[in-house]
């Protein structure tokens, strides 16, 4: 018996990246903008989306893909606010969404009647950062009940994002959270990051968030 070595050098993420490219091409062909919404569990993704669907669901022809480890509770919560389609993905234990799941979910969405697709990822600041889903924007929600140093602890998530939305700002008077320090840490990890501050419960800052989405969904945005 002899042992023979076969050189391979294949990227482990290659298949996901090919599928993400496929998703991106499918969406581009229909003029759909996709946003990958990520955060730790409990940062307010679903509440932000509830308010967003109520305001922009119809005007921006929104569709939502909501990923959860178990239950489709989030998708059910969101469906109350819109007649637009909310597609649930239950990952069955997996800690992130991948491009294959999103590609399959697109089969259930009328892309010709959609302009803005929001993909609510599984609540997790580690794993979703590694999976390209074919999105145009990566938005990380960062909540004021977390430590300001989250960007330093989870750098890959913030490195790969282009927007950070600080959520639950109505709680700031009750917490020692230092907004300037949090933003400084974000910029330390990724100087290109852009910021929004919102309270989805009270409505503060929501106009700027809606404006960001309107611009993202505008036909010229992908140019």
Contact footprint for another protein (CB under 8 A): 1-16, 93-96, 98, 126-127, 129-130, 156
Q: Which residues contact 102 (CB under 8 A, 6 or more apart)?
A: 23, 65, 89, 119, 133, 134
SS3 128: helix
Identity of the residue, 14 or 29, whose beta carbon is nearer to another protein in the bound complex: 14
Nearer to another protein, 94 or 201 (CB): 94
Q: Cα 206 to chain center, whole Å?
A: 17
Phi (first) and psi of residue 180, to 5 degrees: -65, -40
CB of 103 to another protein, least distance (A): 16
Question: 42 or 155: whose CB is closer to another protein?
Answer: 155
CB of 206 to another protein, least distance (A): 32
E strand or H helix that includes residue 88 = strand 86-90
Q: How far is the CB of 5 from another protein (least distance, A)?
A: 5
Q: Could you tell me the smallest distance in angstroms from the CB atom of residue 98 to another protein?
A: 8
Minimum separation from the CB atom of position 19 to another protein (A): 12
Minimum Å distance from CB 84 to another protein?
Answer: 30
Decide whether 40 or 197 has the Cβ nearer to another protein. 40
Pairing of strands 33-38, 137-143: parallel
CA 10 to chain centre: 28
Residue pair 166/198 in contact by the 8 Å Cβ criterion: yes
The SS3 of residue 214 is helix
User: Would you say 5 or 192 has its CB closer to another protein?
Assistant: 5
Residue identified by tokens 């990566």 is 138
Using alpha carbons, select from 134, 125, 127, 112 the residue that is nearest to residue 158.
125
Q: Which is nearer to another protein, 16 or 143 (CB)?
A: 16
């Amino acid at each position: 018996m002899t042992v023979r070595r076969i050189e391979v050098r294949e990227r482990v993420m290659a298949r996901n990246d090919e599928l993400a490219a496929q998703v991106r091409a499918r969406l581009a062909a229909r003029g759909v903008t996709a946003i990958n919404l990520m955060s730790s569990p409990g940062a307010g993704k679903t509440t932000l989306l509830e308010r967003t669907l109520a305001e922009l669901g119809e005007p921006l022809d929104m569709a939502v893909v909501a990923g959860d480890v178990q239950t489709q509770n989030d998708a059910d919560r969101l469906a109350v606010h819109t007649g637009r389609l909310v597609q649930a993905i239950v990952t069955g234990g997996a800690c992130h969404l991948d491009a294959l799941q999103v590609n399959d979910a697109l089969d259930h969405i009328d892309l010709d009647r959609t302009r803005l697709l929001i993909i609510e990822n599984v609540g997790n600041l580690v794993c979703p950062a590694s999976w390209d889903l074919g999105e145009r924007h990566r938005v990380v929600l960062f909540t004021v009940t977390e430590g300001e140093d989250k960007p330093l602890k989870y750098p890959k998530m913030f490195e790969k994002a282009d927007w950070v939305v600080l959520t639950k700002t109505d709680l700031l008077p009750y917490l020692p959270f230092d907004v300037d320090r949090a933003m400084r840490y974000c910029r330390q990890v990724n100087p290109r990051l852009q910021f929004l501050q919102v309270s989805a419960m009270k409505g503060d800052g929501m106009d700027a968030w809606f404006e960001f989405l309107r611009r993202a969904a505008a036909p010229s945005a992908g140019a």
